[in-house]
Amino acid sequence: MDKKEFGRKQRIMEASLRDVKTTLSVISNVVAVGIGLKESGRKFTEKISYRVFVAVKKDLAELKPEEIIPAAIDGIPTDVLTPYSVVNDSGVCGEERMTLSMKRPLRAGIAVSGDSTSYGTLGWFGKLDDGTDVLLTSKHVLYDGINQIDLRKLKTAQPRLGKPAGCFCPASGNDNVIGDSVIGIRNIHSSGDTSADCAIARIHPELASDIVLEITNDSTAEILTVTGTASAVIGDN
């Protein structure tokens, strides 16, 4: 299936997603429903599906008739999955302010900001279609907490926006700018709906050349390494 066909199917599924959620939510084991590529053998296939997350995945023989998730809905296959488990580490939780240090080269897990007072976490990296390196974070980190799409091109700093010195000596001041924002999307609803809070910022080329593909910061000794690439969206939207 080509990208345009993926996009067409995705838009149809998005229009029906609320009804699909309502239908499946009556099944006691279902915790969430979304749209994405169907998995097989822990690998993504080329089939778009309704991804149905259940608290516990059971064999078909163990299920009552009313607990069985249909193999397809309106001709679209379903994919039954268990959600990722996130465990709170009490030794790290609450210590995010320890990450407010300048980090070069850039890596995930460090502080970024669009101003001089607040900050948030650099989540990961990506590339635009033209090959431009970008960082991924939340809209409230680079823009604000308003539910809307924001296309303003604003300074993105690490760790926070500084104030350059008032002279021409490059060593006397640094505003910490590492790039500029591209887009911010925030659409937060009640817990029963799909929500989004994300933003993308271009990274200055001189800082993009030596990005470290790790996730860590000063509040933990743990270092997570990531390999491989994947498309950020299924279709064109």
Digit-coded pLDDT (tens) for 91-127: 444 444 457 889 999 999 999 999 999 899 999 999 9
pLDDT at position 63: 92
pLDDT at position 84: 65
Q: What residue type is assigned to position 55 of the chain?
A: A
Digit-coded pLDDT (tens) for 31-56: 889 898 898 887 888 889 999 999 88
Contact, 181 vs 200, CB < 8 A? yes
pTM above 0.75, yes or no: no
Digit-coded pLDDT (tens) for 162-221: 865 444 444 334 689 999 999 999 987 665 455 789 999 999 999 998 999 888 888 777
Query: Can you tell me the distance from the alpha carbon of 27 to that of 46, in angstroms, rounded to the nearest whole number?
Result: 27
pLDDT at position 198: 93
Measured between its terminal Cα atoms, the distance across the chain in Å is 16
pLDDT at position 104: 93
User: What is the mean pLDDT of the segment spanning 128-156?
Assistant: 94
User: What is the mean pLDDT of the segment spanning 124-150?
Assistant: 93
Q: In terms of pLDDT, which residue wins out, 20 or 41?
A: 20
Domain ranges of the chain: 3-81, 96-225
Query: Can you tell me the distance from the alpha carbon of 10 to that of 4, in angstroms, rounded to the nearest whole number?
Result: 10
For 31-53, letters b (16+ CB in 10 Å) and e give eebbbebbeeeeeeeeebbbbbb
